[in-house]
Chains A and B, each alone.
Chain A
Amino acid sequence: MEFACIQVPWFGIAIARRENPRLEGRPVVVGGAPEEHAEVTACSAEAMAAGVAPGMSLRRALALCPGAVFLPLAASVIRAEAERLASLLRERSPVVEEVGEGHLHCEVRGLPALFGLGTAEYLAQLRESLAGATGLPVLAGGAATVFAAHAACSALGLGFAVAGDRGGPRSSIVVVPGREREFLALLPVEVLPVEPAMHQRLRLFGIERLGQVAALPLSALQAQFGPAGRRVWELANGRDASRLQPASAEARIAVEVELPGPAVSQAALLAGSEAALGRAFSDDALQGRAVRMATWWAGLEDGTRVTRRLAFREPTGDPRHALFVLRSRLETLRLPSPAVSVGVELRGMCSEYAHQQLLWSAGQGRRRELDEAIAQLHARAGEPQVFRIVEVQPWSRIPERQAALVAYGS
């Protein structure tokens, strides 16, 4: 087993059900209240069975499934949970690729042997540890190729009948090496990572299983679907040489300084913070660049931490400026017990911004300054805050189709 696929089917719905177990088994639609003129962003299997689908209007979803529970879209919560799941997996695998929210691929080559476990046992333990830490219904698939692992896990998510050892539904599955083609042949075409429209077209042709795709002549699939046809033919035949593409981790610089003795005074905390900031800003990893944000903390005697998040008004590479911002935050700080250490973590690295006055015209400079200030604002808030009005369909007779807001800089 080289690769594993981790999925939480209906991720947004699973989070909502974890927070409110009474939603279990009930049709759930995410996107807003049904009277809002907005679209369905996610829906449960029960709602899908009633004909609801992502992308349709909420009022149509209400008409199709009057008993559904309508929930607002908590995009930031879903994103935070997805990042938490990814970071948990990164603690367990050296290479992790995030395919979508609640859908990850990772390399597990050699890991079962490292823990002295069989592949199936290792994958089951990996799944259980993630499910235990998140409280979400995690599924896991493992195989020698990325696609076989993905297909095995997706088949579990689609409710494809794979008998469990104890007769119940299975949550993890390992494809026997060398028998990928045989395993894939039985799976539905929906496990193929292509546009949903292609799944529909394959079904219209009467092709429902990967075995049928594999049995077709390559030329026929290429003629009908182009390069995507070749790709699905290769995948259905167990030919997959793809490798994972992990997102590059954001560089962070963290420095912690031990205080000479337990301290509660602001002067002592600032002195320690100044030393920590000085060391952090002179770190080679910064290489003269500036940072957008910093996290400051004080380690207390009882082993706990008090943290403060600093988001600078504009990127800074100057520890004195960072200390100035920190000083204003510490003025109102009351520690519950004496601090024994202070530390800072710098993140959001970017090129330094200079304030040189232009000789003739400030037009271009102003524009850059504005772009930079908006980028900084977006970074502070974690989501777009400034928008432009664009005409989308000015000729439409439906007023709400004519214009829209688009995030500035996108």
Chain B
Amino acid sequence: MVAYPGAPGGARSLRFLNQPRGLAVEADEQGTPRAIAWQGRFRRVAAILERWRVDDEWWREEIARLYYEVELEGGRRLTVFRDLVAGGWFVQSYRAPALTREQRGGGGRSR
């Protein structure tokens, strides 16, 4: 392969934060998490506080995730998601996306 001499070389200087981390989850037949391996042992999911789906970037490499905000036994709260494209469970803190200028003007809501 021939390197393009004028290609920008700085793209690798960006390190994206909040990358998802894989974790082991026991789920029931419906795919709802029942226990999560956290700090060395499986902990029962005491409550599912919220559930939402994110579908995005279908035009290049599809992202489809089912997020769960759960409370583990002992009171610890986590946000986990199941990757609906490649499979697997991940933990990732979730911050609601900021409103764009148009959304702020129109009073729209995200998530």
Contacts and interface: CB of A to CB of B under 8 A. Distances in A.
B73 to A, nearest CB: 25
B50 to A, nearest CB: 15
Nearest to A34: B86
Given A194-B4, A402-B97, A397 B54 contact: yes
A404 B17 contact: yes
Interface string A29-46: 000000111000100000
B95 A59 contact: no
Contact of B5 (A41, A193, A403): A193
Interface residues of A, number: 47
Given A59-B86, A394-B97, A403 B16 contact: yes
B6 interface: yes
Interface in B1-54: 1-7, 10, 12-20, 22, 54
B3 A401 contact: no
B13 A384 contact: yes
Given A59-B86, A405-B15, A397 B97 contact: yes
Nearest to A153: B2
A101 B93 CA distance: 37
A387 B95 contact: no
A407 B11 CA distance: 11
A99 B100 contact: no
A402 B18 contact: yes
Contacts of A389: 17
Contacts of A399: 18, 20, 92-95
Contacts of B13: 384, 406-407, 410
Given A57-B61, A191-B2, A193-B5, A395 B17 contact: no
Nearest to B92: A399
Nearest to B17: A403
A10 interface: yes
B98 A395 contact: yes
Interface string A372-410: 000000000000100101011011111111111111001
A141 B27 CA distance: 59
Interface in B55-111: 56-57, 61, 63, 86, 88, 92-95, 97-100, 103, 110-111
Contact of B16 (A100, A150, A400): A400
Contacts of B54: 397-398
Nearest to B87: A59
Given A195-B7, A395-B110, A400-B17, 15 more contacts: A7-B2, A9-B1, A36-B19, A57-B61, A158-B2, A195-B6, A392-B16, A396-B56, A399-B18, A399-B92, A399-B94, A403-B18, A404-B15, A405-B16, A410-B10
9 contacts: A7-B2, A60-B61, A63-B86, A195-B4, A196-B4, A399-B18, A404-B15, A404-B16, A410-B10
Q: Which 5 A-B pairs have the closest CB atoms?
A: A100-B3, A394-B98, A405-B15, A154-B2, A404-B16
